[in-house]
Amino acid sequence: MIAMHTHTPVMVREVLELLHPQPGAIVVDATVGLGGHSVEIAPRLVPGGWLIGIDRDPQALEIAGRRLEPFSGAMRVTLVHADFRELPQILSARGIEGIDGILYDLGVSSLQLDSAERGFSFRFDAPLDMRMDTSRPGVTAQEIVNRWSEADLRQLIWEYGEEPAAARIAHAIVQNRPIGSTQQLAAIVARAAGRRGGRLHPATRTFQALRIAVNRELEGLQEAIEQAIRHLLPGGRIVVLSYHSLEARAVKRAFQRLSGKCICPTGTLMCQCGAERWIQVLTPHALKPEAEEVARNPRSRSAQCRAAQRLMGA
């Protein structure tokens, strides 16, 4: 079942151009997923390079491991089951002081969305789980919908789902407890949100909010990207693919602050954000997938690609 899964990697041409992997380089794929980007990066590191793939989903790592196996003779391939926020420890445990490149392809993989039993999608009826890391116990979406207060649910759905009907949805969730499955929740949300035009199912934003909360996807994201930048060797590159405005905001703020642009609120008299000049931003405007890619792979439609390069003297 797992072996059948594929994930069409997003904006591969743009990622490779911006990441610019070279023979002998050390490159981290911080969200290796099913290895879609890594199998394209690996041959460019041969001979002698080192690819370090990180993911917190053990099922994904198993697949990535199998796909990257053919490269392990001509270079080093290391897969690490961890949260990418642990990058400094992951590198220091392997004696690595600096890296030539790092890629983040944020969000969920097709494996997660298409595995009915993992509860990420309302296309299948399944328990509301939504944990990316299934190897250890953690808060599930089921616990959030059944235990959180109406006010906290409203805030979550408003903030992480950017959902205008958050108040109505939170009220309906609390009124209809206990909620046990994806499709039960989707039906409750759809009724509360009312019919809308457009291509999004009315429960899409609520499911996004729950997934972000279960996996604490935005906590420390800006800091993680800043950490990664500090581990780049001079001339090293960072590339980030984001899929919604909250992720994009964290990436933009990290890039702004470490390219020396103050991110303090307007009107602040003395800079307090500690902006420093480490990088040059290579994408003044985020790149988007071409129409042909979106037609071929609809999951790429919301992608934004940003990249930066560590300054030589920083």
Ligand X SMILES: C[S@@+](CC[C@H](N)C(=O)[O-])C[C@H]1O[C@@H](n2cnc3c(N)ncnc32)[C@H](O)[C@@H]1O
Judged by the rule CB under 6 A, the positions of this chain that interact with ligand X are 7, 9, 31, 33-37, 54-57, 60, 83-85, 105, 107, 109, 132
Nearer residue to ligand X within complex by CB, 7 or 205? 7
Phi-psi region of 48 (alpha: psi -120 to 50; beta: other; left: phi over 0): left
Q: In this complex, which beta carbon is closest to ligand X, that of residue 245 or of residue 272?
A: 245
CB of 67: closest distance to ligand X in angstroms? Answer: 9
Torsion angles phi and psi, residue 2, rounded to 5: -65, -40
Q: How far is the CB of 193 from ligand X (least distance, A)?
A: 26
d(CA 23, CA 226): 26
What count of other Cβ atoms lies within 10 Å of the Cβ of residue 37?
A: 25
Is beta strand 304-310 parallel, antiparallel or unpaired with respect to 232-242?
A: antiparallel
Q: Which is nearer to ligand X, 173 or 209 (CB)?
A: 209
Amino acid at 16: L
In terms of CB distance, is 37 or 205 closer to ligand X? 37
CB of 132 to ligand X, least distance (A): 4
* 14 vs 55, beta carbon nearer ligand X: 55
Distance CA(213)–CA(232), nearest Å, equals 29
User: Smallest distance from the beta carbon of 296 to ligand X, in angstroms?
Assistant: 14
Q: Which residues pair with 306 in a beta bridge?
A: 240
Indicate the residue among 85 and 154 with the shorter CB distance to ligand X: 85
Pick the closest to residue 78 from 98, 88, 93 (CA basis). 93
Query: How many degrees, rounded to 5, is the angle at CA 83 between CA 106 and CA 180?
Result: 75
Closest listed residue to residue 216, CA positions, set 302, 112, 133, 299: 133
Closest CB to ligand X among residues 12, 275: 12
| Shorter beta-carbon distance to ligand X: residue 61 or 232 | 61
- Min dist CB 105 to ligand X, Å, is 4
- What is the rounded distance in angstroms from the CA atom of residue 275 to the CA atom of residue 294? 36
Closest approach, Cβ 245 to ligand X, in A, equals: 17
Residues 313/255, Cβ–Cβ less than 8 Å: no
In the complex, which residue's CB is closest to ligand X? 36
**b/e sequence 280-298, b meaning 16+ C-beta within 10 Å:** ebbbeebbbbeeebbeebe
What minimum distance in Å lies between the beta carbon of 199 and ligand X? 20
**Rounded to the nearest whole angstrom, what is the least distance from the CB of residue 129 to ligand X in the complex?**
13
